Amino acid sequence: MDELDLRLRAMAHGEELPLPTDCEALLDRLEREIRRGEDRRPCRRLGRRTLLLTAAAAVLSASVLAAELWHLRIEEISVGQEESSYRVDGDIPAVPLESFSREIWAIMERVPEKAAGQNPLLMSTMPGYWFGTFDSWTKCEDFVGFPLRNPLEEAELLEMANYAAIPRDAQTLDENSRRHCAVTLNGSANGELQSVQVDAGYLMGEIRIQMSVNLYPEGSFLDPGTGAVWIGEADFTLTSGVTGSKVPYSLVVTETPENEYYHDFSSADAYFILENGLYALHAVSPGRESGGAARAALEQMLELF
């Protein structure tokens, strides 16, 4: 193998994301075929090297595309004096309808009657909106109807908080608001389930961490994805990486504008896809100079997934 081949393979294996397992075999086959061509027409060696580079680049491009299928995309980034925002999109799996529990379908069955007595022009949510809180992640899973991976429940560095990552002993919380988890259902006026969101909150010292799992049933008319909107001119720093089990994630550190809407804090958000749906981890740390602390906390948690 000559120097060019070594460099090409080093580039391939230096990719941050794992390449398909057949990439090495494809490179070997391309090399053999091209070298056979070199043996027949050695005077074309420069052209063959160019062809090798092009062919290898095509293999790497296909590898990146294959890996991209598992990526989320941070897009529609907008920064303005009035408002700043971004959207998180990607190939988010659809959950089979039969996977959801009887409890959820019982709630959806009552939606048409409930929606019939409401003026759709005055509604701020979907007709099939429902919100409930739970004491534990296990009870949330039972209500949803299937397991949802959550290694944060076993993390020794974390303390359980309420579903919004507020200490459960806060005096402003009522009994329902003190619960660790929450489930939000959205359905159409006909009782068709459109989305399910599961939230849980944790504390890492002064850093608040909230995890959300967004699930989209088969046939949902909603555009799968999430995002964030900030009042004023925010600054977004985007990075990417892989979790402990090599699941690609996107991470956004947000520097909020200094205005009347925001207190003295820094935040970071991480997004990734597991087998059930779209996961979002949100961290808030006190102090405007602590954006690195929020990011470091999320990176530590991402190693658990």
Segment 264-286 mean pLDDT: 92
Tell me how crowded residue 242 is: count the other CB atoms within 10 A of its CB. 17
Mean pLDDT of 250-262: 82
Decide: 87 and 73 in contact? Cβ < 8 Å: no
Check whether 230 has a pLDDT greater than 70: yes
Asked if pLDDT for residue 73 goes beyond 60, the answer is yes
**1-15, 71-85, 117-131, range with greatest mean pLDDT:** 71-85
Is 3's pLDDT higher than 80? no
Mean per-residue pLDDT of the chain: 79
Band of pLDDT at residue 120, cut at 50, 70 and 90:
low
Poorest-pLDDT segment among 79-88, 147-156, 259-268: 259-268
- pTM surpassing 0.85? no
- Determine the average pLDDT of the residues in 227-235: 89
Question: Residue 58: pLDDT band by 50, 70, 90 thresholds?
Answer: very low
Q: Is the pLDDT of residue 297 over 80?
A: yes
Whether the predicted pLDDT of 56 surpasses 90: no
pLDDT at 234: 87
CA 170 from centroid of its chain's CA atoms: 29
pLDDT at 4 over 90: no
Give the CA dihedral 39, 45, 48, 53, nearest 10 degrees: 130
Residue 238 has pLDDT above 90, yes or no: yes
Per the CB < 8 A criterion, the answer to whether 136 and 93 are in contact is no
pLDDT at site 88: 95
pLDDT surpasses 90 at 16: no
Res 222 pLDDT > 80: yes
The per-residue pLDDT for 266 is 85
Asked if 305 contacts 272 with a C-beta cutoff of 8 angstroms, the reply is yes
- Is the pLDDT at 39 greater than 90? The verdict is no
CB burial string 130-157: b at 16+ within 10 A, e below: bebbbeebebbbebbbeebebebbeeee
Residue 2 has pLDDT above 60, yes or no: no
pLDDT, residue 261, reads 72
Closest by CA to 276, choosing from 162, 164, 195, 167, is: 195
Dihedral of CA 135/192/108/188: which sign? Answer: positive
User: Given a cut of 50, is residue 179 above it in pLDDT?
Assistant: yes
